[in-house]
Amino acid sequence: MENLLNLSRAAKLVGVSRGSLQQKIQDGEIQSFEGLIRLEDLAQAFPDADIEHSNEMDRYDRIIEEALIRARYGKMQQLLAPDIATMTARAATLNKELIRIKDKFRQHLDIIEQLKAKLTHPQENQLEAATAKELLNWLSQRLDEREQDDDQVPYLVDKDTYLKVMAAHVRMVPSGHDFFVEGQDSILEAALRNGLTLEYGCSSGNCGLCKARVLSGNVKQIKHSDYHLSESERLDNIILMCCNTPVSDITLEAPEASTSDDIPEQTIPLSIRKLDQIDGITVLQTRTPRTQRLRFMAGQTVEVSFNPELQSRLHIASCPCDDMNIQFHLPTIPGDPVSDYVQHEMSKSDKLQIKGPYGDFVIADETMSPLLFIAYDTGFAPIKGLIENALAQDTAQTITLYRVGEPNTAFYLRNICRSWNDALDVFHYHEITTEPDSSRYLDEIVSQHHRLEEYLVYLAGPYEWLAKAQDYFANLEQGPAEIKIEIMKY
C-alpha cells in the first residue's frame, strides 16, 4: 500500500515549512500526486530528517515532560499536551488502523507467496518458462531492494504515528485548508492559530456561530456549551468548533471568509494591557473580552474610540491568529489630538471601543507566491500583522521585509524582525536608510529579486513616499504579479 501524506503532514515530519516543500514540488525535486507526497520520496528528498534529533519530536517530548510535571503538582487544567482521554482515543483510532493495515499486509504477503510459487513452476501453471523466470528474478530483486531501503522510511513512519497521537490533522471543506490541532486546543483555537478566517463569535459555546459538520473522523467535546444543538443537527454530525477537539484526523465542513467583505462589522470594548514607548512610537497593546473577540483579516483597520469625543481609524498591528490581543502603533506627533491624548492622558485603566474591521490591504487566501513587504515608519504596523498571518499560514514560498527610513531612523521593534530572520528560513529582513527624495533604494530591492513577476508586493507608509514607490513599480518593464498599497495617516 502506498504511504501518501498531505503537504502539512509531510512538512511537519521533516521540519520544514509548507511553502518550502511546495517549492521543491514546483522545482521537480519531489513528485506530488494530487497534492499528496509518497513517504519514500519525502525520505529521499530529506535524508537528514532524523526522528531521534528532530525539533518537532523534541518539542513534543518537552510537552509530555511538562505535562507529567504539572500532573504531579495537580495542575492538570494547565497541561499543554492533549488530555489523557484525547490521547487514549487517538491511540485507539491508530490501533484500529494498525490492525487494518496488518491484515492487508498479511493478505498481500500471501498473494506474493502464491505468485512466487506459480512462477517457480511455470509448466504446472501454463506459463512460458523464460518469461516466468524473468518475472521471478524481477520480483525477488524488487523485494530485496525494498528490504534494504533507507532506514529513513521506518523512522518517518514511527514519527508520523507519534505525531498522530500528539496532534490530529484537520482538513476543511470546501476551502481545502488544513492544519493540526495540538495540546488541549479546540478546533477553533487551532484553526485561528493557523491563520484561517472562520465564522465564530463567543469562542465559549454560547452563540452557535462556529457550527461545522464532521464529514469524517471523530471529535470529542472538551468544553461545556450552553448552546443547544437541535436533534437534527446532532444527527447531521454538526458540532461547535470552539468546544471540540479531534481524536482522529478529521474532515470538517464550515464556511470561511475569503475576502474582507465576508467579515461583519463588530463593536467591541477593549481594555488596555500595555503602553510602551519604543523609539518614538507608542505600542498600544489592548485586549478584547474573552467572549467577544475581534474577527478580522491581517492588514485591516478599526475605528478606535478613546472617549466619546476622540476617535481615530488605526491599523491593527497584530495577527488574527491571536484574536484577543489587538496591537496598535502610534507615532508621537505634538499637536495631534490622538497622539497628545495617548502621550499625556491615557492610562491603563481607560476603556476603549473599536468598530470594524475595515479595508482590503489583505493577502489573498493562503497564497503560495513569494511575498515582498516594504514599510516606511509606522507602515510597519499593518505589515507586521500581514507577516505574522503569513507565518501562521506557512504557505508563502518566501517572505521578505524591507524597512525604509531616513538616515538615523531607529526602526522600532526591529528585534522582532531580526528574530524572525534568525529563526525562519523563509523570512528575510533588511533595513534601508535613504534621503526622502531618493528612490534609488528601490533599484537595490528590485535587483535582488530576479523573478519579480512572481511576487506579491505590499507597500505601507505616508502618501508621498507611497506615490513615488508606486510610480517606480508602475514604470518597470517587468513589474510584480500584484502591488497593494496602504496609506498611513499615522
- CB 257 → ligand FES: shortest distance, Å? 14
402, 407, 408, 410 alpha-carbon torsion, rounded to 10°: -20
Handedness of CA 74, 76, 78, 81 (dihedral sign): positive
Handedness of CA 105, 109, 112, 118 (dihedral sign): negative
Residues 219-248 that bind ligand FES (CB under 6 A): 227, 240, 242
Of the candidates 87, 209, 229, 432, which one interacts with ligand FES according to CB under 6 A?
Answer: 209
157 binds ligand FES (CB under 6 A): no
Contact 82, 187 (CB under 8 A): no
Q: Which residues contact 259 (CB under 8 A, 6 or more apart)?
A: 360, 362
- CB 272 → ligand FES: shortest distance, Å? 25
Where b means 16+ CB within 10 Å and e means fewer, 80-117 reads bbbbeebbebbeebeeeeeeeeeeeeeeeeeeeeeeee
Residues 67-86 that bind ligand FES (CB under 6 A): none
- CB 291 → ligand FES: shortest distance, Å? 8
CB atoms near residue 405 (< 10 Å): 20
210 binds ligand FES (CB under 6 A): yes
Of the candidates 183, 195, 205, 356, which one interacts with ligand FES according to CB under 6 A?
Answer: 205
Query: 3-class DSSP state for residue 186?
Result: coil
Residues 239-298 that bind ligand FES (CB under 6 A): 240, 242
Count interface residues toward ligand FES (CB under 6 A): 13
Closer of 13 and 239 to ligand FES (Cβ): 239
Give the residues across from 466 on adjacent strands. none
Closer of 244 and 301 to ligand FES (Cβ): 244
Closer of 45 and 188 to ligand FES (Cβ): 188
- Of 322, 87, 92, 67, give the one whose Cα is nearest residue 222: 87
- CB 357 → ligand FES: shortest distance, Å? 17
| φ/ψ (deg, to 5) at 91 | -65, -40
- CB 240 → ligand FES: shortest distance, Å? 5
The site string for ligand FES over 184-203 (x = CB under 6 A, - otherwise) reads: ----------------xxxx
Closer of 155 and 227 to ligand FES (Cβ): 227
- Cα–chain center distance at 368: 12
Which residues contact ligand FES by CB under 6 A? 200-203, 205-210, 227, 240, 242
